[in-house]
Structures are given as C-alpha cells and as structure tokens.
A = this chain, B = another copy of it.
C-alpha cells in the first residue's frame, strides 16, 4: 500500500468525478429514503432487512449471516432486529443446531409490509436514478460498480 508521499493529488477530472459521486449519493439516497419513509413507514435499513429476509428460504436467516451479507456489524443487526421485532415485522427463534444462535424470521405482517412497499420503492428508485439515465449509462454504471466492488471485496 503506497504511502502518502507518493500519492498525487486528484486531477481536475478525478476531482469532479469524486465530487459528483458524493453529490449523487447524497441526493439519490436522501430522496429514496424520504420516499420510503413517507410511502411505507420504513427506513432504508428496514427495507433492506425485510428484502433480504423475503428472499431467504423459509423467510428466515441467522442473525450473523444476515449481518455478513449486508456488511453490517452483528451489533447493529442485533439492535435493529430488536426494534423491528417490537414493531412486529420480524421475530427471533432459537436455532436448533446452535444454542447460541438466533434465527430471524419474517412475520406475516413483515411480509405484507414489504410486499406493499416494494412497488412504491421501485417507482422511487426509477424517479430518482434509473429513469434519469440512458440504457447505456445504466450498463456503464453497473460495470463501474462491478469493477469497484470486485476490487474492494477482494481486500480485508
């Protein structure tokens, strides 16, 4: 890993790309989050957890597995699941195979909530990102994201 002595400053194009990315992120994410909250009463993390669970077999997943897939800390997941549990969106079950384990299960209410939220959320994602770009740009964005993700996930 190079020391800072050898690190050149960002050139103007790189500077603009970085600032653009930051601003895109700020605008897109706050709007999508606001829409989600207004339309469905969910926060962005709420939606992600529900979505992850709804795609899991049996609508259940180990807490740690959930955290790992979503790149959250276990602690964060534990706290968040507790709150979602209090709202009736998920419940905890003991894990048969591992006495320490906790399985997080989507409740019927949780399933209902995310199924109702999903189409509105998709509409919001379209309004605030997808439909603003040409198909070419979408493909490029995917390619850029893949490149970066691949590099970063290959690192500690």
A141/B142 contact (C-beta < 8 A), A24-B149, A27-B71, A71-B27 known: no
Say which one of A60-68, A83-91, A124-132 lies at the interface with B.
Answer: A124-132
- A1, CB-defined interface residue at 8 Å: yes
Contacts of A153 in B (CB 8 A): 27
- A112, CB-defined interface residue at 8 Å: no
Chain A interface residue number, banded: 35 or more
**A17 with B148: CB separation less than 8 A:** no
A20/B130 contact (C-beta < 8 A), A71-B26, A123-B7, A144-B140 known: no
Contacts of A23 in B (CB 8 A): 145, 149
**A125 with B10: CB separation less than 8 A:** yes
| One of B18, B123, B140, B149 near A4 (C-beta < 8 A) | B123
Interface of A is mostly: helix
| One of B122, B132, B149 near A147 (C-beta < 8 A) | B132
**B149 with A133: CB separation less than 8 A:** no
Taken together as a complex, chains A and B put the C-alpha atoms of A143 and B31 apart, in Å, by 20
Taken together as a complex, chains A and B put the C-alpha atoms of A30 and B148 apart, in Å, by 14
Taken together as a complex, chains A and B put the C-alpha atoms of A1 and B152 apart, in Å, by 37
> Which positions in A face B, CB cutoff 8 Å?
1-2, 4, 7, 9-10, 13-14, 16-18, 20-21, 23-31, 71, 119-120, 122-123, 125-130, 132-133, 135, 137-149, 151-153
Known: A7-B119, A137-B144. 16 other contacts (CB 8 A): A1-B127, A4-B119, A4-B122, A14-B138, A17-B138, A20-B141, A20-B144, A21-B129, A21-B141, A24-B144, A25-B25, A27-B71, A28-B152, A30-B71, A31-B152, A140-B144
